[in-house]
A = this chain, B = another copy of it.
Amino acid sequence: MDDYKNTKVTIYDVASEADVSLATVSRVLNYPEKVKPATRERVLEAINKLGYRPNTIARGLASRKSTTVALIVPDVSRASVAEMINGVIDIARKYDYTVILKVTNSEIEIEDDIWQEVFAAQVDGIIYLNDELQERNIKQILETTVPVVLCNVQEENNLVPSVSIDYETAFYEATKSFIDKGKKDILLVATRSAYSVNALREKGYKKAMQEANLEPNIIRTSGRLVINYPFFYDYLKTNKPEVAIVVRDSIAVSMINAACDLGIKIPDDLEIMGFQNTKYSKMSRPTLTSIDNPIYDIGAVSMRLLTKFMNNEPIDNENVILPHNILWRNSTK
């Protein structure tokens, strides 16, 4: 292939080079079986020779499909989010979709703008990755004609296609595993927002506690590192739970650090369990027990599901649940 890379060659150039009409060139690109092998060869050669690449934009306009999906996330620097993005992008590449990345910074106005933008951009589908789904988001999504897949969240009534783990069961099981070991004073450390996934996590936790006639005890913290450490440091000065189940690994590590700095022995005085088995859990000392879930796969499967919607493939299950399991490490006994 010669290096015509930067001199925009159009479908006309290819057509005249191959001595066919532009329609034929378009056909070999989109329906190769509809053109005679001999001419197909000729066209392919011309394409190769000229280094032709169809203009994605023109193609999008004419076909009314952009082969583009929007990936809407709250913040890419969260370890779990980043890993899911990797999953989404890998599969998107496999199916030849371009992905537009939009980050909301969890700000409502930005998010509203983003929804407008992605519609204007004619995206063929949307992956909404956000474990803090709110009422207004659901409404937004339900109004939409473009297919949307929720990634890492589940809408309570399964009104929207989604891929996630079974949060309620995961936290139920985690809590129960400590109860079965005879623990009574089990704390759930959640984040501020009491929406969707958080609600499910709390539900699972409470269920296990109530079944054992234990008093649920939930505290909420911010997701921010600089806030968490002092928060836990203060909290642990006066509170001595036996067990803490924490909704995010990074937050759990802050708690470990605060505890250690206070001379609280982990896991002897306090057992800590994190969630999502990110890099942090392996890097902390003691290593962090964590509820493992297939983060990369959650992203990947979301994107795969979305392709099915975009291509009108049959879909057997709109709400995919992926497996989870507890990885016991040194922050627990």
Contact = CB atoms under 8 A, between A and B. Distances in A.
A58 B3 CA distance: 29
A279 to B, nearest CB: 6
A23 interface: no
Contacts of A110: 93
Nearest to A68: B100
A225 B282 CA distance: 9
Interface in A64-96: 66, 71, 75-79, 82-83, 85-86, 89-90, 93
B143 A57 contact: no
A57 B101 contact: no
Interface stretch (A38-46, A119-127, A171-179, A212-220): A119-127
Given A5-B143, A79-B77, A85-B76, A283 B254 contact: yes
A98 B121 CA distance: 9
Contact of A98 (B55, B89, B100): B100
Nearest to A253: B283
A283 B83 contact: no
B98 A143 contact: no
A89 B101 contact: yes
Given A61-B57, A98-B100, A98-B117, A250 B283 contact: yes
Q: Which of A77, A82, A98 has the most CB of B within 10 A?
A: A77
Contacts of A105: 90
A119 B5 contact: yes
Contact of A285 (B54, B100, B260): B260
Nearest to A75: B86
A144 interface: yes
A280 interface: yes
Interface string A241-267: 000000000100110010010000000
A321 interface: no
Nearest to A52: B120
B283 A285 contact: no
A53 B86 contact: no
A6 interface: yes
Interface in A198-232: 225
30 contacts: A3-B143, A5-B143, A6-B145, A53-B120, A55-B120, A55-B122, A56-B121, A57-B60, A57-B66, A61-B61, A76-B76, A76-B89, A77-B79, A77-B82, A77-B83, A77-B86, A77-B279, A86-B103, A90-B103, A93-B110, A98-B100, A98-B117, A98-B121, A99-B100, A99-B101, A225-B283, A250-B283, A253-B283, A254-B283, A257-B285
Given A100-B101, A257-B283, 16 more contacts: A5-B143, A6-B144, A53-B119, A53-B120, A57-B66, A76-B76, A76-B89, A77-B79, A89-B101, A89-B102, A90-B103, A90-B105, A99-B101, A101-B101, A280-B283, A283-B284
